[in-house]
Chains A and B, each alone.
Chain A
Amino acid sequence: MRFPLNFVIGSIMIIFVLTAAVVSLFWTPHSHSELNISMKFAEPSMLYWLGTDQLGRDVVSQLMVAAQNSVQVALLAVFFGGAIGTFLGLTASAIGGVVEDIIMRLADLGFAFPALLFAIMLAASLGPSLNNAIIAIAFINIPIFARVSRGSANQIWQREYVAASKASGLTKFKISIDHILPNIMAPIIVQATIEFAVAILAEAALSYLGLGAQPPQPSWGRMLSEAQTLMYLAPELAIYPGICIIIAVIGFGLLGDGLRDITDPRLQGDR
């Protein structure tokens, strides 16, 4: 089987990001938080591959730990948002009627409410923190997955084998778990990959605005907001974290597109 180009390129970019994140768990070139003022703004060298920042901290080590942070946030947010959303979508599709109407209306409501505003509200009432950022990002995922899973599930409910299970007396709950869920996994996984990209972007933006990762936890977004105050001294510090964000976001985007092309060839090139 030949894999589509977007799948291959996306995978390579993601493997790069994931490797950095996983390796940072047990090894970084230097400590990401260790201050070394005498070495501040060091040029890139064999010792400091991308140089150091205003406090003499190694940039590569910070970027690696930040990758781990980004992946963690995206994983948690998409997992919880996706699980709740899929559950709601499956429920709506299985029960139908008023319940379906209510769930889908609530989903519309979720769409009407911008994620940034939700994060701002949480930060104002509970204080800014990475956990609240995760909750906000998970929240925006719920209606998205509810729609995708309900739409796909409604199609599966029309199939003959589902009618057969119904006739043999299986409950709607059992049919949903045994027959519907496995058959809608493909579109859900595709959606999850794309939402992963969105989540990484959202985490970076929230951390940049001070609503996500708090010091001293490294995050690409927070590194950018620190670098912004030093632009006349060390402009390159404002470049590296952005490139990391782009690699992760484009990588997951391409991977999602590629997965969709593989799982649903009819949609190929259809944008």
Chain B
Amino acid sequence: MRRLVNFLVTLFAVSIIVFAAMNVLPGDPALTILGLDATEDALEALRQRLGLNEPLTKRYFLWIGNALTGNFGISHSFSVPVSDLIIERLPLTVSLAISGMTCTVILAFVLGVFAAANHKRYGDWGVMVISQLGIALPAFWLSILLVLLFAVKLRWLPPGGFPGWENPTDAIRSLILPTLALSLVQSAVLARVTRSSMLEVMRQDYIRTARASGFQRSRILWRHTLPNALIPIVTIIGMQFAALVTGTIVIENVFYLPGLGKLIFQSISNRDLPTVQALVMLFAAIVIIANFIVDITYSVIDPRLKDRA
């Protein structure tokens, strides 16, 4: 219950921040949209149309009330409802996030379990060096390197762009590099957590017993150790989902993918404040919801944490 209240308060506070940043900071949005050489009449007409002459609090509640029913206003640059723009681009961003997350988890588990199984040997050392590099590697540079290798040099995959879902093979091909770019960096972090959590569990008596009873090594690793090492891993996965969602903003821009992330940047250069405001709020809400789910999952997995705030 306390978590729920916390969650709602955070969401509310963030919505105020977003609203304030987009409506108070720029001074006069009408001036921002029309530019410096707009006439006073044109400015006043636009202010009327956008409802900018209303008091701020009224405008805030109007915005948030509409947003809750899925109405984010009209985009200045596209002249269509912002919600239409979002619905049109959502599938791409969601598929990218899901494929990125899946790939991250698989890679991280394989690397993390491998490193733990080879603790203090070359395999472990190798994985740790790779993951250290992965953590320092900017995702956008990794993307460029992937494009250099797979598109420019080997010509196996397209360097960017998205052909649309009509042709599923081409669509999937154009999502391979973005997915890799998203997941390689994330899995570097997760592999480390998996490894250290596995090592922790491997020290337990029951693992030694299992080993002494002659169970196969791989069976012990995947069936006995990994499930018990999951608690810290699940938490990190939740946090990473949040990072991954904002990561799609960067990756979509690197690979010229027409998703929500690309839309934000188009709207910034078009000075399309309602769209930017809606998208920032949407992304922030996804991050906050992801954190909330982690919070709840944590107390479900480990009931001892239930009463601690």
Question: Which A residues lie at the B interface, using CB under 8 A?
Answer: 108-109, 112-114, 116-117, 120-126, 128, 197, 201, 204-205, 208-210, 221, 224, 227-228, 231-232, 235, 238-239, 241-242, 245-246, 249-250, 253, 271
The 7 nearest A-B residue pairs measured at CB: A242-B141, A125-B26, A124-B276, A125-B25, A249-B136, A121-B21, A114-B246
A124 contacts which chain B residues (CB < 8 A)? 22, 267-268, 271, 273, 276-277, 280
Q: Which of B138, B152, B280 is A120 in contact with, Cβ under 8 Å? A: B280
Indicate whether A120 sits within 8 Å of B268 (C-beta atoms), given known contacts A114-B284, A246-B136: yes
Contact between chains at A205 and B140 (CB < 8 Å): yes
Indicate whether A242 sits within 8 Å of B145 (C-beta atoms), given known contacts A117-B280, A124-B268, A125-B273: yes
> Interface digits, B22-39 against A, CB 8 Å rule (1 contact, 0 not)?
100110000010000000
Q: Which of B140, B148, B287 is A114 in contact with, Cβ under 8 Å? A: B287
- Give Cα A227 to B147, complex, Å: 12
Contact between chains at B144 and A126 (CB < 8 Å): no
- Give Cα A75 to B254, complex, Å: 27
Residue ID in chain B nearest A246 by CB atoms:
B136
Residue ID in chain B nearest A202 by CB atoms:
B138
Indicate whether A209 sits within 8 Å of B250 (C-beta atoms), given known contacts A109-B13, A109-B14, A125-B26: yes
User: How far apart are B269's CB and chain A's nearest CB, in angstroms?
Assistant: 8
Contact between chains at A121 and B152 (CB < 8 Å): no
Q: Verify if B218 is at the interface (C-beta below 8 Å from A).
A: no
Contact between chains at B137 and A246 (CB < 8 Å): yes
Indicate whether A253 sits within 8 Å of B136 (C-beta atoms), given known contacts A114-B284, A242-B144: yes
Residue ID in chain B nearest A242 by CB atoms:
B141
Contact between chains at B152 and A250 (CB < 8 Å): no
Indicate whether A205 sits within 8 Å of B250 (C-beta atoms), given known contacts A112-B10, A242-B138: yes
A108 contacts which chain B residues (CB < 8 A)? 10
Q: Verify if B265 is at the interface (C-beta below 8 Å from A).
A: yes
A224 contacts which chain B residues (CB < 8 A)? 140-141, 144
User: How far apart are B33's CB and chain A's nearest CB, in angstroms?
Assistant: 12
Question: Which B residues lie at the A interface, using CB under 8 A?
Answer: 10, 13-14, 17-18, 21-22, 25-26, 32, 132-133, 135-141, 144-145, 147-148, 152-153, 159, 192, 196, 242-243, 246, 249-250, 253-254, 264-265, 267-268, 271, 273, 276-277, 280, 283-284, 287-288, 291
Contact between chains at B273 and A114 (CB < 8 Å): no
Interface SS majority for chain A: helix
9 extra interchain contacts, Cβ-Cβ under 8 A, other than A201-B136, A204-B141, A271-B196?
A: A112-B14, A112-B284, A114-B242, A114-B246, A124-B271, A125-B25, A224-B144, A239-B148, A250-B133
6 residue pairs bridging A and B, Cβ less than 8 Å apart? A112-B287, A120-B249, A208-B138, A209-B140, A221-B138, A231-B147
Residue ID in chain B nearest A106 by CB atoms:
B13
- Give Cα A209 to B138, complex, Å: 12
User: How far apart are B256's CB and chain A's nearest CB, in angstroms?
Assistant: 10
Contact between chains at B144 and A238 (CB < 8 Å): yes
B13 contacts which chain A residues (CB < 8 A)? 109
- Give Cα A109 to B135, complex, Å: 25
Contact between chains at B144 and A228 (CB < 8 Å): yes
B243 contacts which chain A residues (CB < 8 A)? 114
Indicate whether A210 sits within 8 Å of B147 (C-beta atoms), given known contacts A245-B141, A253-B136: no
Contact between chains at A121 and B136 (CB < 8 Å): no
Indicate whether A117 sits within 8 Å of B268 (C-beta atoms), given known contacts A204-B138, A232-B152: no
Indicate whether A231 sits within 8 Å of B148 (C-beta atoms), given known contacts A112-B14, A125-B21, A250-B132: yes
B267 contacts which chain A residues (CB < 8 A)? 124
User: How far apart are B266's CB and chain A's nearest CB, in angstroms?
Assistant: 11
A246 contacts which chain B residues (CB < 8 A)? 133, 136-137, 141
Residue ID in chain A nearest B272 by CB atoms:
A124
Indicate whether A126 sits within 8 Å of B152 (C-beta atoms), given known contacts A112-B288, A253-B136: no
Residue ID in chain A nearest B245 by CB atoms:
A114
- Give Cα A210 to B264, complex, Å: 12
Contact between chains at A121 and B22 (CB < 8 Å): yes
Contact between chains at A235 and B287 (CB < 8 Å): no
Indicate whether A235 sits within 8 Å of B136 (C-beta atoms), given known contacts A124-B276, A242-B141: no
Contact between chains at A116 and B10 (CB < 8 Å): no
- Give Cα A238 to B140, complex, Å: 11
B283 contacts which chain A residues (CB < 8 A)? 114, 117
Contact between chains at A121 and B276 (CB < 8 Å): yes
Contact between chains at B138 and A201 (CB < 8 Å): yes
B18 contacts which chain A residues (CB < 8 A)? 121
User: How far apart are B213's CB and chain A's nearest CB, in angstroms?
Assistant: 31
Q: Which of A117, A242, A249, A250 is B246 in contact with, Cβ under 8 Å? A: A117
- Give Cα A116 to B42, complex, Å: 34
Indicate whether A126 sits within 8 Å of B25 (C-beta atoms), given known contacts A210-B265, A224-B141: yes
Contact between chains at B250 and A125 (CB < 8 Å): no
Contact between chains at B138 and A271 (CB < 8 Å): no
A239 contacts which chain B residues (CB < 8 A)? 145, 148
Contact between chains at B144 and A113 (CB < 8 Å): no
Contact between chains at B26 and A126 (CB < 8 Å): yes
Q: Which of B139, B144, B250, B268 is A123 in contact with, Cβ under 8 Å? A: B268
A123 contacts which chain B residues (CB < 8 A)? 268
Residue ID in chain B nearest A271 by CB atoms:
B196
